[in-house]
Structure 1
Amino acid sequence: MVPLPPLTTDTIQQILDDTLDDDTLHHLVWHYLGYRYDEIEKCWQLDLVDPAWAEKYPEPPKFIEERPPTVQLTRAIPKPYKALLKEKMGFKGYTIDQLIPRLTRRATMASWLLSYMAQNGLLVG
């Protein structure tokens, strides 16, 4: 299991700055979606995963490599939290030369994690 960083705005900033590696980022999102890997059974446990996710993705999806799960992640952000990257992080988006799927999908993951933080009382200020 990849050691997870704390879910803080500093971690969100690392995601946006592309200084948190992709593998760790995937594991972080999987964790907060409820995916847990059972080392003994050598399989993913879905007990904590929302049924809509578990049915479509019985194994946690690779958001950076695949567009459909990233679209589902975007849709999973409640409307009141859609602008948190801009409001709380001051994120203005990427420049034209940075508009590549990998970075935009990382931003989606950061946005979803930030909305998770807001919904669970983890977003200070």
Structure 2
Amino acid sequence: MELPPLNTDTIWAILKQEIDDTTVNNLVWYYLGYRYDESTNKWDASNVSEEWRTEYPEPPDFIANRPPTVKLTRSIPQENKQIAKEQLGFKGYKIGEFGPRETRRATAANWLLSYMKINQL
């Protein structure tokens, strides 16, 4: 799968729901270290940190499931918890216009932004 570049345009596209859930998941998986091995048709988690690899030997669906999203939120350093708001001016979603799916997409966007900052991308 061809992933979009990790930049603020991509983060905004996630927040505005211009990128599909599968691509959002694939972006997070990629930057967590998961790689799909076409030759074996299996996920390779050898580059994934132990705390993720132990609990999720295969990449979890962050959009459909709450537990991995909670873990993703907790893995964002405290100083980056509000990074989408601080760096992009993202004001969140309006009451009545969002549900768990949008909240999880925002978490993924926040985590990716934090990853960019930590890794100076």
TM range, smaller chain = over 0.9
CA distance in 2, matches of 1:98, 1:111: 19
The equivalent residue for 1:5 is: 4
Q: Unaligned regions of 5+ residues in structure 1, if any?
A: none
TM-score by length of 2: 0.98
1:48 partnered with 2:47: yes
Amino acid corresponding to residue 38 of structure 2 in structure 1 = E
2:70 is the alignment partner of 1:98: no
Aligned to 2:107: 108
1:11-50 superposed matches below 5 A: 11-50=10-49
Q: CA deviation at 1:113?
A: 0.2
Cα distance in structure 2, aligned partners of 1:58 and 1:39: 17
What residue number does 1:85 align with? Answer: 84
Shift of 1:28: 0.6
Q: Deviations over 1:85-117 (max 9, x none)?
A: 001110111111123000000000000000000
**In the TM superposition, what whole-angstrom CA distance separates every residue of 1:15-53 from its partner, at most 9, and x where no partner exists?**
000001111111011000000011111111111101010
Partners of 1:42 and 1:56 in 2: CA distance? 20
Q: How does 1:62-77 map to 2 (within 5 A)?
A: 62-77=61-76
Q: Which runs of 5+ in 2 are unaligned?
A: none
Q: TM-score, normalised by structure 1?
A: 0.95
- 2:31 counterpart letter in structure 1: Y
| % identity of equivalent residues | 57
Stretches (4+) displaced over 4 A:
none
RMSD: 0.7
Q: Matches of 1:58 and 1:40 in 2, distance apart? A: 18
Deviations 1:53-106 (A, max 9, x none): 001001100011100000000000001111110011101111111230000000
